[in-house]
Amino acid sequence: MKRKWSKLSKKKLLTLISLSSVIVGAGSAYAWVGSPFGTSLVGRQAESGKVLTPVDQFVTPAGQQVEFGGNPISIKVRPDGKTAAAIVGRKDYGGTGINVVDLSTGNLITTNLALNLNHMWGLSYSPDGSKLYATGSDSKNVGKIVVMSVAGDGTPTITNMINLPDATVGGNINPQDIVMGPDGKTLLVALNRDNSLGVVDLQTNQLTARIPVGNAPTSVIVNGNTAYVTNVGGRKAQAEDLTVDSSGTPVVTTPMGSSASGTVSVIDLTANAVTKTVDVGLQPARMTVYGQYVFVANTNSDSVSVIDSHSNDVVQTIKVEPYPNAPLGSAPNAVKMINDHQLAVSLGRNNALAVYDWNGPVKEPRLLGLVPTAWFPVDIAADEAGHRLLVANADGVGSLGLNRSLTIQGITVKGHSSYAQQGSLSVIPFPSAKDLAKGTDDVYANNNWFQIAGRNAEARNNKKPTAVPERIGEPSPIKHIFYIVKENRTYDQVLGDIGRGNSEPSLTQFGEHVTPNLHKLVNTFPLLDNFYIGGIQSASGHQWVMQATNNDYEDKETDTANVRSYPGGAGDSLAYASTGHIWDNALKHNVSVVNFGEDTTEFSGSQPAGKWTDWYNDYLILSGQKQGTLHVPIGDYTAKTDIPSLDPITYKPFPTFDSSIPDQYRYEIFKQKFEEYVKNDTLPGLTQMWVMNDHTAGKSTDFPTPQAQVADNDLAVGKIVDLISHSKYWKDSLIIVTEDDAQNGLDHVDGHRAPALMISPWIKRGVTDSHYWTVINMVRTIEQILGLPAMNQNDAAAVPMSELFTDEPDFTPYTFEPNHIALDTLNGTPGSDKPAIPTYTPPQQTATTDIQALEKLWTEWSDQNKEHFSGKNASPDSVDASMLNHVTWYATKGFNTPYPGEQKVLTPSDVAAQAETGAPISTKTN
C-alpha cells in the first residue's frame, strides 16, 4: 500500500487552493535536516496561540473553539438546531460525560453532566429532540444506554439506564454508535464485542434482538427501512484465512498483523436480517447518507467508499490524499455532505478536514482544500441552519488540563500528567474558497508538509558516507542500530535532578542515586530535555514507537478506556496500522532484524515460573556470581507474539513484560546471543529490545521496591551499552533508548515528556540539546541511516535527529556504573521503606502508626494486583495508573509525603474515588 513520492506536478497542484505555497514547498532539491519546531515546548504557544502536540504537529483550529475537560468522541446537533451535545470517551481524562453547547453563542450550557459511566461512545437525539441517548459501560463492565430528557433550552437530565447483556464471547458487550430506528420506537446500537447490531425496544427498555453482522461493528446509520453498519474488523474469517485475535474474535489479517478486510453490513429492518455484506476499505468508521448514496470513511486505507443504496454496491472509491502522492496515514474517520455537493472528511491524523467537490459517482471528485481542526478529529455534525460544521476533537489541545501543585523543601512547582486531557469542539462556518486557501496553507505548515518531496527525494550516487545521510539510501558509517524501549517514566521523574537543562528537581523520584547509568549516559552523550512520547499508555505508546503512528481504532480505544482490548505492546490485530512496523519496513528492504521482547505477549514454559527471587538467582548463576542450577533452563520458557511477521525474528528465550523477572536476567539472555553474533559476524542491522522493569510492581509482596526495580532497569541499560561499546560492533553502531509512554508520573513541562538517549561514537558528547524531538523523529532517524523509506505520513514529514550526530567519531567505550541501591530489596523487608532520594527528609505530617497503617493498605492493594504485574496475565498498565502512581510516589518519597496537588497521604480507597485521576484502564476484557 506504499505510495511513491514525486515532485508536485502543476496538474495536481491545481486540485489544491494554495498553489504558491505548495510549489515553494515542493521545489526543494534536498532534504532539510533542521527541526521545524525549533525549541518550542509542547503545549500552547504564548505568542502565536498555536498548540504544539507531542507528535510533530501544531494545531491551529479554524472557527470558534469550545474547550472542556475530557476527550469528545461523538457530537450530535439537536433537531431544532439550537444546541449540540458532545460525549467524552472516558471519565478519567478530566470529563465525566456530556457537554452541551449553545450554537447561537458558542457557550457551554451544560458542562460535565456525569453519566456514571467509565467508558462512553455514542449519542443520538429522538426526532423531536426531547430525548437524548448515550452508550457506554459502567465500572462493573456492564454495557449501558443512558436515557435523558431534554429541556427546552437543550439541557439534558438523566431519566433511566438500560442494561445490556454480556457479549457472546463473554464480558462487556461494548456498545458504540447508536441511532433511532425508523419507527421511532426502537434504538439501533452497534454492539462492538458481540459482532451484532442491537435492537432496543423503547417501551420495554429491553434488548429484543441481536442481528449478527461483521467483526467489531462500530457505527450505524439508517436510510429508509435499511440500516448500514460498519465493521472495523471486516468479514467473518474462513478456515483458510490468516487470522489474529481481537478481543475474542479472529480477524482476517495480513502477515504484518493488521486487518485485511473491511465491510458494511446492509440490514433489512423489517426482517431484522443482513441482506448483503459490502466490501469497503480497511477499518471503516463513520458514515453519512446523501440522497441514494452512503459514504463510508475507511480509516486504515485512506479512502471513502460510496455505496449506491439502490444496488448496495460500491460505485466509487475516493482516494484521500491531503497532498499529491501522499503515503497512507490520514486516518479519515467521519464524513458529512455540505452545500449540496461538498463532501467534508475528517482526517484524524492530519488534524484537518478535507473538502471535496462531489458531483455524483461517475465524475472524479476534486479536492478543494483543507480546514485545520484541533488534535485528532473523530466526528462531524452539521448545523444546517447556521451553515456550520461541528467537529469533535478527541485530543483537543493535548494534556493541558489542571496541573498538580507540589511544594517540597520550600520549592513550589506544577506537574503535568498525560491524562489531564483538554478536549474541544470546533464550530466552523462552511468554508469558502478563501477559507480553504488559508486553511490548506495552515494544515501544510502544521504538519510540516512543505518541502516534503525534497525530504523524501531519491538517493544520489557516489555520495561520501555521513553519520546521518542527507537522503534516505545514501551511505552511512553506522550499520547497526539498537532500539531499546523502556516503560512509563517522565523526564522529571528520572532526570529532574540532573542540574542542567529544563529540569525540575522537586518532581524527581528516581534520581542519580537510583539511576546512575541514565545520569552518566546523558552526561556523556546528549541530554535531550525536550523529547516527547506520542502515546498516553502502553497500548498506544508501543504503536507510536514501532509504527511512527497510532491508527484510528487504537486511538479511540485509548480515548474510551480500552473496553475492547489492551494491546500493551501487542495483542489485537485491529491496533496495527496497515503501513506496518519498523521491522516490517526493514525486512521489506533487506535489512536484517532481531527482536528481544518487543510486542511479545506471553512468556511461558513447562516448568513452574517461581518468584522474582528464583529468576534473580538464575541471573546470579548466569553472570557467574554463584554456582547452581537454573530453576528454568534457558529455552524452556519462550516468548510468543500474535504478529506473524514478528514471530520468525523474535529471540524466544528473552522474556516479555513480567515484573517478576529482573532486567538483569534479560541482560544475561541478550549478552549470550550478542556474543554469538560477535563470534559469527552475524549481528543484524536492527536490534529491537523491550526492557521494562522501570514500570515497577508497586508495593507487592515478594517483589523488589519500586526504586530497586528502576535501579535494576537502569543497570541493565548501562550493561547493554557497556557490552556493545566494548565489542567490535561499537565502531558502526547507534543505540537509541526511549520510554514507550510517560504516564506513570508528573513532569513540569508536559505529561508526554520523557527521558531519551542517543548513544554512539557518531553522537556528539556532553551537549544539552533542547530542540523539540519525538519518537517519530527517532523512527525517521533509524530509517534515514538504514536506508528505509518512510512508512506513513508521520515519518515522511519528520526530520531525522541529524544535529545530534558528528562525522568525527569518538570511539571511547562506555563503562557501566554499578547500582547504588540493592536490587534485591524486597517490599516489606528492612530498608524497603527508605526513600529513593537519600538526602530528602520529608515533613512529619503523619504519625508513625498512621504511616505503617497506610503502607500496609498500599501493600494489600499491590498484592491484590499481582497477577497484572507478573505471570501469564501480566500486561503493562492493566492496573489503574493513578493507583500505581500514588503507591510509587509514597514508596519513593515516604508514606508521609502527599502526592502532588493533595493535602494528605491517601488510602487506596481514597484514590479509587478520584474519578478525575483514574487512568489507563479500569478493566481488561480480552
Q: Report the range out of 484-493, 601-610, 809-818 with the highest average pLDDT.
A: 809-818
- Classify residue 46 by its DSSP letter: T
Q: What's at 59, amino acid-wise?
A: V
Residues 742-756 have a mean pLDDT of 89
pLDDT tier for residue 884 given thresholds of 50, 70 and 90: confident
pLDDT over 60 (residue 208):
yes
What integer pLDDT is reported at residue 402 of this predicted model?
A: 59
Q: How far is CA 895 from CA 829, 854, 898, 910, in A?
A: 16, 7, 8, 15
pLDDT tier for residue 403 given thresholds of 50, 70 and 90: low
Torsion from C-alpha of 533, 539, 545, 546, nearest 10 degrees: -170
Residue 243 and residue 256: Cα distance in Å, rounded? 11
Closest CA to 889 of 879, 900, 880: 900
Q: What is the DSSP string of 135-173?
A: EEE-TT--EEEEEEEE-TTS-EEEEEEEE-PPPTTSS--
What tens digit of pLDDT does each residue of 777-792 get?
Answer: 999 999 999 999 999 9
Torsion from C-alpha of 97, 102, 105, 110, nearest 10 degrees: -40
Find out if CATH 3.40.720.10 is the number for domain 479-804: yes
What integer pLDDT is reported at residue 908 of this predicted model?
A: 86
Residue 456 and residue 314: Cα distance in Å, rounded? 34
Q: Which residues have a Cβ under 8 Å from the Cβ of 253 and sit 6 or more positions away?
A: 242, 243, 244, 259, 260, 573, 644
What integer pLDDT is reported at residue 628 of this predicted model?
A: 96
pLDDT tier for residue 24 given thresholds of 50, 70 and 90: very low
- Classify residue 607 by its DSSP letter: S
Residue 266 and residue 274: Cα distance in Å, rounded? 6
List the Cα angle 164/203/272 in 5-degree steps.
Answer: 65
What tens digit of pLDDT does each residue of 421-433 get?
Answer: 889 999 999 999 9
For the chain, give the number of residues.
926
pLDDT over 90 (residue 528):
yes
Residues 563-576 have a mean pLDDT of 90
Mean pLDDT value across the chain:
90
Residues 263-282 have a mean pLDDT of 98
Q: How far is CA 776 from CA 195, 198, 411, 566, 880, in A?
A: 34, 40, 34, 22, 27
For residues 810 and 859, the model is more confident at 810
Residue 379 and residue 422: Cα distance in Å, rounded? 16
Q: 682: phi > 0 → left, psi -120 to 50 → alpha, else beta; which? A: alpha
What integer pLDDT is reported at residue 419 of this predicted model?
A: 76
- Classify residue 38 by its DSSP letter: T
Q: Which residues have a Cβ under 8 Å from the Cβ of 183 and sit 6 or more positions away?
A: none
Return phi, psi of residue 110, to 5°. Answer: -135, 125
pLDDT over 60 (residue 916):
no
What tens digit of pLDDT does each residue of 826-855 get?
Answer: 998 887 777 665 543 444 445 555 888 888
Strand partners, 429: 388
Q: Which residues have a Cβ under 8 Å from the Cβ of 311 and sit 6 or more positions away?
A: none
Grid coordinates belonging to 62: 479554524
Is there a contact between 659 and 869 (Cβ–Cβ < 8 Å)?
yes
What tens digit of pLDDT does each residue of 667-694 get?
Answer: 999 999 999 999 999 999 999 999 999 9
The 3-state DSSP class for residue 489 equals coil
pLDDT over 90 (residue 898):
no
Q: How many CA atoms lie within 13 A of 900 on its CB side?
A: 27
Place of cell 506536478: 9
pLDDT over 80 (residue 522):
yes
List the domain boundaries for the chain: 479-804, 848-917
* Helix %, strand %, coil % of the chain (to 5): 20, 30, 50
The 3-state DSSP class for residue 649 equals helix
CB atoms within 10 A of CB 506: 19
Strand partners, 288: 295
Is there a contact between 387 and 430 (Cβ–Cβ < 8 Å)?
yes
Place of cell 515528556: 753
What tens digit of pLDDT does each residue of 617-652 get?
Answer: 999 999 999 999 999 999 999 999 999 999 999 999
Q: How far is CA 600 from CA 171, 485, 571, 658, 718, in A?
A: 24, 13, 8, 11, 23
Residues 308-334 have a mean pLDDT of 97
Residue 604 and residue 611: Cα distance in Å, rounded? 14
pLDDT over 80 (residue 527):
yes
What integer pLDDT is reported at residue 31 of this predicted model?
A: 45
What integer pLDDT is reported at residue 877 of this predicted model?
A: 62
pLDDT over 60 (residue 301):
yes
Residues 76-90 have a mean pLDDT of 97
- For the chain, give the percent of residues with pLDDT over 90: 77
What integer pLDDT is reported at residue 573 of this predicted model?
A: 96
What integer pLDDT is reported at residue 736 of this predicted model?
A: 98
pLDDT over 50 (residue 7):
no
pLDDT over 70 (residue 404):
no
**Beta strand pairing status for 293-298 and 72-77?**
unpaired
What integer pLDDT is reported at residue 895 of this predicted model?
A: 85
The H or E element that residue 613 is part of is helix 612-622
Residues 175-202 have a mean pLDDT of 97
Residue 453 and residue 611: Cα distance in Å, rounded? 54
Q: How many CA atoms lie within 13 A of 38 on its CB side?
A: 6
